[in-house]
Amino acid sequence: MRILVTGGAGFVGSHLCDRLVQQGHQVTALDNLRTGSRLNVAHLKDNRLFEFVEADVQQALHGDYDRIYNLACPASPPHYQADPIYTSMTCISGALNVLDLARRNDCRVLQASTSEVYGDPDISPQPESYRGSVNPHGIRACYDEGKRMAESLFFDHHRMHGTRIKVARIFNTYGPRMDPNDGRVVSNFIVQALQGRSLTLYGDGSQTRSFCYVDDMVEGLMRLMESDEDVLGPINLGNEGEFSMLELASQVLELTRSRASTEFLPLPQDDPRQRRPDLTLARTRLGWEPTVALRDGLRRTIDYFAARLAKAA
């Protein structure tokens, strides 16, 4: 098939491109490199099945495709808060552009939404039926509400035009090719531990997250894309294992054999206290659940960052 991956030079997007090319599809990765990197897809540049296009999803899109994965958006708080208006418009204009392209091609289009649509949840685990507790004018709103608006556009486009949509709600994902400076907790802890710097925790470190290894996430996205036509979503994709930030820091220190200390800073505004997906729909409709345990995924990610830091040095 001919497949477009917007945000294809990003962390998750580049791994998705790898899998699609391995399956023999003709893949176009579109990315404006604002947070993505050519390094993430450099190993594919001479592959006849792969094409990289430097462009912004906020601009009109063209081409003939059989599948479209929309992963274009800054995804870490420092990145999406750096230019919140740009983030919001990437979510909204980008969603509308990929939907219009999918309608013209009569092809399936998948929106990479996020667990952040649940905000700071009042229930756990979070099922897809939970409508969330989001601050619409806080510093995270550009991303939280932007993704909620993208979901709204997807379902309205489907109802109005019959567009063949799929919506995935991605929970915290980690693995090789994360940007060491993107501010996500896994990359922060690993880089700090490898460099012997204090691990920065916010609040008292009791807030929890559920971490999904990138290979599992890519498998979930692909299964959702190829699922039955009536499976629109939203469907949670993540890992049900729930860990506090203190527990994560402890595992990273142990696996890196680092003697780094920990440092506690004030909790950022609207930082969720808890995050854990209900995977019932993913299991029943997609036959999917994660297989990589946090400890194993952390080892692979630590090896990646250790090699990257050594090369940089």
Q: Mind telling me the catalytic residues?
A: 143
Question: What 8-state DSSP symbol labels residue 8?
Answer: T
Whole-number Å distance between alpha carbons of 21 and 10: 16
3-class secondary structure, 235:
strand
Is residue 155 within 8 A of residue 165, CB to CB? The reply is: yes
Strand-by-strand arrangement of the 108-114 sheet: 50-54, 26-31, 2-6, 67-70, 108-114, 164-170, 235-237
Number of H helices, E strands in the chain: 9, 13
DSSP secondary structure string for all residues of 218-231: HHHHHHHHTS-TT-
Q: Which residues are bridge partners to 109 per DSSP?
A: 68, 165
